[in-house]
Structures are given as C-alpha cells and as structure tokens.
C-alpha cells in the first residue's frame, strides 16, 4: 500500500510576516561515524507568495571541517561521558559563529537528528540516550530552543537529502529539472527521486509536495547495511584473504594473520561487492524498482552526496566511466608514482575498495548502460531539514 501525504504550500500573510526577520537553524547530523553541525539562515522572500532562501552560515570548507567530530554517537552509548567533550567542541564553534554573525543563540532553533548508527540500538536504550543529550544541551549550552533530539528513519533522511539538493529548483523558474539524489553515509545509503506524473508505476512509497502548482512525488528508499564503512567492514571480515584482491599492488589487509599476497583484480573485487549486494535479498525488490525508474528516464541527472563526493573526488572522477579508468590505473599500480599510497594509512582508508564498491552500486542501478549527468556535493542532507520546515512538513 502506498503511503501518500499531500502537503500543500500556501504562503499566507501571517506566515510571511512571521518571516519578516531571518530565522536561524542549527541542524546536527549524528551519523554512524561522526557528528556534523550545520548552521542555516532563512531569508524572507522579497515578494509575497515566494518561498524564502536558505543560506549556509559556514561556507569556507576549512571551517566546515571544524564542525565535525568523531566517533559517532552510537559508539559512545555505553560511555556518554565521552560524548560531552565532543559536543562541547561543536557548541563552542557554533557560539563563535553566533558572535561573528551577531546572532542571539536564543533565536536559533536546534534540531538534533541521529541516523543509521542509532537505528541499530534498541529503542528504550536509544531514547534514554537522547534524553541525556537534551539535558546536556539545556544545562551546558546557550542554545535553548531545542526542537528535537531524535532518530530519523532512512526514508526521512533520503527525503531531506532530496530537498537539500532540489529546494532551489522547486522554488525557481525551471521547477521541472529536479535530480535523483544518492546519499552514501557510513552505515546506510539513500536513493531519492521525483517519480513524475505517474508515480504508481514504480511500486515505491512516496511523499507528495505541492509547490507553486507543481506536484513532486518523492520516493525515498533507504538501504541499511549499504553504507560505505559498514559494507567494507562486513565484506573484508567475511572474505578475509580474498578481500586482498581489492587492495592495490602488494598491500594486504593488516588484520589478517599471515596474509597471502593476492594481486589486485578489479573484476574479482567487483564480484565480491556485487555478491554482497545480491545477498541482501530484502532489498532486491527496491533496487529493481529504482533500476526501472532510472532506466525509464530519457535524460538522467544525478547528484551524489557525502561519501559519493569523497571517493569520486579522491580519484579525480566526474562520472562512473572516469572512475573505472582511474581505479584500474591507480589501483593496479600503473600510476603508482602519481598517487601517495602509504602503507601505514592506506590499509585503513582503503580507497580502492571504496571506489569499486561505488562502481558496483552504479552497475547495480544500470549506470553502465546509460550516461547520466552527474555532480557531487560535499554537503549532506541537513539543509533539507530546513527546507522541510519551510514546506510545513514535520521533520
């Protein structure tokens, strides 16, 4: 059964007046491998009937990196005292930003959203942890307008990612040119798309937004266990020696006792990841529906977020085809002199298997048969939380 929500966006004068001054939002992405903080300013539209603009308050990339701490909150659930110093760092940075922009912390709405790592924690234990985090904020920070400390579903995360990328398109002149959004975190992967004028044909649940007379039927599918870190951990632990085919030249996985040297093989490594994806049978139907959606488009525009960006950027690739070429060249060692693969760090980062996993995802979705227009952003889904608030959808 389809779950359909109709969200009609009407900008009443009372709403416009409420936005006469900028509104400020602090959004936490508490993921499986770390916690990121983003700050946003919502600028009222100059013309009645238009939706406001969403601006990031932190634009310099070196500053953005300062607003992230590791490890993820799920790894500290049995040691919450280890979390407070990490959150202290983030709130100190946020307070500095308030001083720079002359914003009263009391005017900032706080949304703390946990994702895939916390989905693996029992509900009662998870909720008690969230209560502790909220108490920490109340007692130790000047930010008191705390709207929520909670876990979001994978489908919500994917919807936020889609809104983060497509909000400006929805409120702009060419409101039809939306993009499919792929968001790859540490423990889960989300794929979100506008299903178009006949959404029922794809057999995917969807949420409908109505903006400026246009209907956007957004299907958001989450794949828990397909996040980059979790896949690499599971695959490398399961295949042990064979996993070495994914490592470049003479590198071996450092956790294996008496590892045997197995030459790098792009094809063999890809088979390992494809086998893992096929073994998760509960997701095969959704992958098939998304494959049909992608391959039904005459012109495909795709945006990759988070780890899609990091891996593609590492290999200087702007398309799956470029990634294939660069991985085969670099990971086989033919361009060894051009790539700083260091024995002490590379087996931890494992960039070659990361890239081949991405290529396995692209193949699984049919990208090897089409030539999609792709771009990759470092930012994540947090902007979509603010967009959803503007669109009157509860986060």
Tell me what pLDDT residue 257 has: 62
Task: Give yes or no for a contact between 152 and 114, defined as CB atoms under 8 angstroms apart.
Answer: yes
Residue that the structure tokens 């280890």 belong to: 82
Q: Is 389 domain-assigned?
A: no
pLDDT tens-digit readout, 89-129: 999 999 999 999 999 999 999 999 999 999 989 999 999 99
Task: Give yes or no for a contact between 386 and 29, defined as CB atoms under 8 angstroms apart.
Answer: no
- What is the overall mean pLDDT for the chain? 84
Q: Is 276 domain-assigned?
A: yes
Tell me what pLDDT residue 367 has: 85
Residue-range definition of the domain harbouring residue 48: 8-151
Q: Is 362 domain-assigned?
A: yes
- Same domain, yes or no: 260 and 138: no
- Same domain, yes or no: 273 and 360: yes
CATH of the domain at 34: 3.30.420.40
Residue that the structure tokens 């899609």 belong to: 308
- Same domain, yes or no: 147 and 232: no
Pick the closest to residue 244 from 266, 227, 222, 261 (CA basis): 261
Tell me what pLDDT residue 337 has: 41
Tell me what pLDDT residue 8 has: 36
Domain boundary among 151, 177, 204: 151
Residue 285, exposed/middle/buried by CB under 10 A (0-12, 13-18, 19+)?
exposed
Question: Residue 73 has which token pair?
Answer: 């909150």
Q: Is 2 domain-assigned?
A: no
Looking at the 3D structure of the chain, how many domains does it have? Answer: 2
Pick the closest to residue 190 from 301, 71, 305 (CA basis): 305
Phi, psi (deg, nearest 5) at residue 267: -65, -40
200 CB contacts (<8 Å, ≥6 apart)? 2
């Amino acid at each position: 059964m389809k779950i359909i929500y109709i969200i009609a966006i009407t900008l009443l004068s009372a709403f416009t007046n409420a936005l006469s001054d900028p509104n400020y939002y602090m959004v936490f992405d508490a993921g499986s491998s770390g916690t990121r903080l983003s700050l946003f300013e919502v600028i009222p539209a100059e013309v009645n009937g238009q939706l406001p603009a969403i601006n990031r308050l932190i634009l310099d990339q070196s500053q953005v990196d300062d607003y992230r701490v590791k490890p993820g909150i799920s790894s500290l659930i049995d040691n919450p005292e280890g979390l407070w110093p990490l959150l202290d760092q983030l709130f100190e940075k946020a307070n500095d930003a308030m001083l720079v922009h002359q914003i009263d912390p009391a005017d900032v709405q706080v949304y703390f959203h946990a994702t895939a790592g916390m989905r693996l924690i029992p509900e009662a234990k998870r909720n008690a942890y969230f209560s502790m985090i909220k108490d920490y904020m109340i007692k130790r920070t000047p930010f008191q307008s705390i709207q929520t400390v909670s876990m979001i579903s994978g489908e919500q995360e994917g919807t936020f990612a889609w809104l983060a990328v497509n909000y400006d398109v929805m409120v702009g002149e060419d409101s039809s040119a939306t993009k499919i959004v792929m968001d790859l975190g540490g423990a889960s992967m989300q794929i979100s798309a506008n299903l178009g004028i006949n959404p029922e044909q794809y057999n995917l649940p969807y949420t409908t937004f109505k903006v400026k007379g246009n209907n956007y039927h957004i299907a958001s599918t989450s794949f828990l266990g397909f996040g980059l870190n979790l896949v690499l951990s599971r695959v490398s632990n399961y295949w042990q020696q064979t996993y070495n085919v994914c490592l470049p030249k003479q590198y071996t996985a450092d956790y294996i006792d008496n590892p045997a040297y197995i030459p790098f093989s792009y094809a063999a490594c890809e088979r390992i990841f494809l086998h893992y994806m096929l073994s998760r049978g509960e997701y095969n139907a959704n992958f098939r529906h998304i494959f049909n959606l992608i391959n039904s488009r005459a012109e495909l525009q795709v945006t990759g977020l988070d780890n899609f960006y990091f891996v593609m950027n590492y290999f200087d690739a702007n398309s799956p085809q470029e990634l294939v070429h660069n991985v085969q060249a670099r990971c086989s060692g033919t361009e060894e002199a051009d790539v700083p693969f260091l024995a002490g760090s590379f087996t931890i980062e494992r960039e070659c298997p990361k890239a081949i996993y991405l290529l396995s995802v692209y193949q699984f979705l049919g990208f090897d048969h089409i030539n999609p227009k792709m771009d990759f952003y470092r930012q994540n889904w947090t902007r979509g939380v603010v967009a959803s608030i503007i669109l009157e959808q509860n986060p």
